[in-house]
Amino acid sequence: MTRRGVAILGSTGSIGTAALRVLERHSDRFRVSALTAFNNAPLLEEQSARYAPSFVGIVNNGAPAHRRWTTGPHCLVEAATRDDVDIVLNAVVGAAGLDATLAALEAGKRVALANKESLVMAGELAADAARRGGGEIIPVDSEHSAILQCLAGRPSSEVRRIVLTASGGPFRDWTRERLEQATVDDALCHPTWRMGRKITIDSATLANKALEVIEAHFLFGVPYDRIEVVVHPQSIVHSFVEFVDGSVLAQLGTPSMELPVLYALTHPDRVEDAGVRPYDPVASSPLTFERVREDDFPALRLGIEAGRRGGASPAIFNAANEEAVALFLDGHITFTDIPRTVEAALVELGSLAAGSRDALLAADDAARHHVRESCPC
C-alpha cells in the first residue's frame, strides 16, 4: 500500500499531538511528511527526531542555524503545498491558519480541518479555491465529523435540520451575576475536553459554538435557520442530523479528538483502531440535553448574526473574538467583557468588504485594532 503523506500544521498543540498519536498507530497507511509549530522548538525537535519528516517549519524564533528548518509564517503554506503531502491537517489556532487552508485547497490537497477560524473567515474563498484546485475539506471538529458521518453522502436538500451539541463549558450552570466574577483559571477548567487555551475560553463563552454554526453552514451548505444548538454536558453525542422524513441520526463516542482526526484521514473509509476507550452506554448514562441560555452567553447569538450577515462580518467576529480572548487571558478585561468587546467591534465595522483574501485580512486587522483601542489597559 502506498503511504499517504501528511503535513501537520500546529504539531505541538493539543490537536497536533493527538494527530501524531493517531499517525503512529497507522504508520502502515500514513507517513509524517511535514511538521510546523509556532515557537515550541524543543517539542518540535523531539517530534522531528521521532517522525523524520522531510520538512520542518517554525514560525517564530528557536531555530539555531544548524537546523535545516524553514522559519517564518510562510512555512505553513510551504508545508501545505509540498508534493510529498497528500493530506494537510491544519491544527493551527486562529486566523493564522487561513493562507495554508486556501493554498492547500488550491493545490488539490485534502485539508483535515481543525482550524475552523479559516473557514469562518473565508468560507466562500475556500469553496472557490477547492473548486479551482480540486482540494477538499474534511472536518476534524468533533461536531462536524459527526454530521459528515450522519449525512453519509446524502444531499443537503434531504436535511431538515442540523443540531450541534455543546458541552456548555465550565459555566453552564453559573448565574449571570457569578459570570461577572469568572477568573481565567475558572474559564480554563473545561469539564469534558482538554484543549488549547483559546478554544477553551471560546467554549466557556460559547463563541466556539458560534464559530461551529458558521463552519457547519459552509461545510454542508445548510442555511442558518436550519442549524440549531443544544447543550449536552456529557459530550457523548457529537451532533444530530434530522432528515426531511423526520428520521434523526446522531454519532456518539467517547470524547476524544483522536476519533475525528482518524476519520478525517481515512474518510469515507473506516479503519481498525483501538486507541480510544470504547463507549460504554451504561457507564456514560444518563445522556441529558438542555436549551442554551442565550441571554447569558451572548457570543453565540453575536456570531450567528455575523454569519447570517455574511460578507466580512464572520471575519470581524472571529478577529475581535481572538483579540478579546487574548486580552482576557492577559488579565486586561473580564470574562463578560469578551462578548461586549466583540459586539462593539461588529457594530462599528459591520459593513466592510469581503471579496478577496486581502479584503478579509483588512477587516481582520481593523477588528483587532478596534478591540485593542477600546481596551482600558
- Interface with ligand NAD by CB under 6 A: which residues? 10-16, 37-38, 40, 59, 76, 91-93, 96, 114-117, 141, 193, 195-196, 199, 257
Residue appearing with cell numbers 459570570: 179
* Closest distance to ligand NAD from the beta carbon of 347 (Å): 25
Taking CB within 5 to 8 Å according to partner kind, which of Mg ion, ligand NAD, none is near residue 205? none
Structural contact between residues 170 and 230, judged by C-beta atoms closer than 8 angstroms: no
Nearer to ligand NAD, 242 or 360 (CB): 360
- Interface residue with Mg ion among 141, 322, 343, 364 (CB under 5 A) is 141
Burial class (CB in 10 A: 0-12, 13-18, 19+), 176: exposed
- Using CB under 5 A, which of the segments 29-37, 64-72, 140-148, 219-227 binds Mg ion? 140-148
Nearer to ligand NAD, 163 or 242 (CB): 163
Nearer to ligand NAD, 44 or 366 (CB): 44
DSSP 299: H
Rg (the chain; Cα; Å)? 20
Taking CB within 5 to 8 Å according to partner kind, which of Mg ion, ligand NAD, none is near residue 116? ligand NAD
* Closest distance to ligand NAD from the beta carbon of 83 (Å): 22
* Closest distance to ligand NAD from the beta carbon of 214 (Å): 12
What lies within 8 Å, CB to CB, of 97 at 6+ separation is: 9, 10, 76, 90, 115, 117, 118
Give the residue among 80, 139, 124 at the shortest CA–CA distance from 106. Answer: 80
Please count the other Cβ atoms lying within 10 Å of the Cβ belonging to residue 153: 6
Q: Does 323 bind Mg ion (CB under 5 A)?
A: no
Closest chain position to ligand NAD (CB): 13
Angle, CA of 318, 324 and 330, to the nearest 5°: 140
Taking CB within 5 to 8 Å according to partner kind, which of Mg ion, ligand NAD, none is near residue 91? ligand NAD
Nearer to ligand NAD, 242 or 264 (CB): 264
Taking CB within 5 to 8 Å according to partner kind, which of ligand NAD, Mg ion, none is near residue 12? ligand NAD
* Closest distance to ligand NAD from the beta carbon of 273 (Å): 18
Taking CB within 5 to 8 Å according to partner kind, which of Mg ion, ligand NAD, none is near residue 242? none
Please count the other Cβ atoms lying within 10 Å of the Cβ belonging to residue 249: 16
HEC letters along 14-59: HHHHHHHHHHHHCCCCEEEEEEEECCCHHHHHHHHHHHCCCEEEEC
Burial class (CB in 10 A: 0-12, 13-18, 19+), 27: exposed
Q: Does 202 bind Mg ion (CB under 5 A)?
A: no
* Closest distance to ligand NAD from the beta carbon of 49 (Å): 17
Q: Does 242 bind Mg ion (CB under 5 A)?
A: no
Nearer to Mg ion, 99 or 141 (CB): 141
* Closest distance to ligand NAD from the beta carbon of 246 (Å): 30
In sequence order, what are the beta bridge partners of 241?
A: 162, 249
Angle, CA of 104, 94 and 307, to the nearest 5°: 90
Residues that bind Mg ion (CB under 5 A): 141, 143
